[in-house]
A and B are shown apart, each in its own frame.
Chain A
Amino acid sequence: QSDLTQPASVSGSPGQSITISCIGKTSDFGEYDYASWYQQHPGKAPKLMIYDVNTRPSGVSDRFSGSNSGNTASLTISGLQPEDEADYYCSSYANKTTVVFGGGTKVTVL
């Protein structure tokens, strides 16, 4: 069972913005500031989309952005596109040396 809680699904129409939340049981996000987000298409390995709460790796679209507040990290996808339909996972430190993933959120583009 994950220590990070995500909604099971989020949907939106093309061009809209959606936000996926990731709630920790403690103030992990505020203490460590290390929330990461991964995108996973069916049958593919996860892809790092955001790290350090709001930093995009090279090559990731600026339509993806992250934020955090207290024990909640969030991923926002702006200008939703059909190729954004995928599963999204948040991740953070469970303590200074171990890692935890959220349960995942299925994003559907209507």
Chain B
Amino acid sequence: QVQLQESGPGLVKSSETLSLSCHVSDYSIGRGYYWGWIRQPPGKGLEWIGYIHNRGATYYNPSLESRVDISKDTSNNQFSLKLSSVTAADTAIYYCARSLRHGYIVDLDSWGQGILVTVSS
């Protein structure tokens, strides 16, 4: 069963760029599926950030699109999130996830454990 693990700094300064990686085990990301990022501010609901397809196409939340970049590194079997010009509102648990079926992006059945990123002033 595929496993996902987020990594990156837990503290980012305001106005800087948040950078996270999601390492994938037991499945080669280049073979298929959509690979996504979702976040959850402390005590609040889920927010979809965006996805990258195994072939490289990306889709972003319109409200974040100007600041988001998702990329993949097939050789290291991981995909990454960059969120620029962060503010305190970007403080959240960031999850990476994979869809259940090829070609779909609304059925996320494999999730990382999540990583808390705090934006400090």
A residues near B, CB below 8 A?
A: 2, 34, 36, 38, 40, 45-48, 51-52, 57, 89, 91-93, 97-104
Contacts and interface: CB of A to CB of B under 8 A. Distances in A.
Interface stretch (B18-26, B67-75, B99-107): B99-107
A100 B112 CA distance: 19
B46 A46 contact: yes
Contacts, number: 62
A102 B45 contact: yes
Contact of A104 (B46, B61, B100, B113): B46
Contact of B46 (A38, A93, A97, A98): A38
Q: Interface extent on B, as a size class?
A: 20 to 34
Contacts of B60: 98
Interface string B63-100: 00000000000000000000000000000000101001
A99 B107 CA distance: 10
A35 B107 CA distance: 9
B48 A51 contact: no
A92 B45 contact: no
Given A36-B107, A91-B106, A48 B100 contact: yes
Contact of A45 (B47, B48, B51, B112): B112
A37 B38 CA distance: 15
A84 B11 CA distance: 33
Name which of A45, A48, A52, A89 has the most chain B CB atoms within 10 A of its CB.
A45
B105 A99 contact: yes
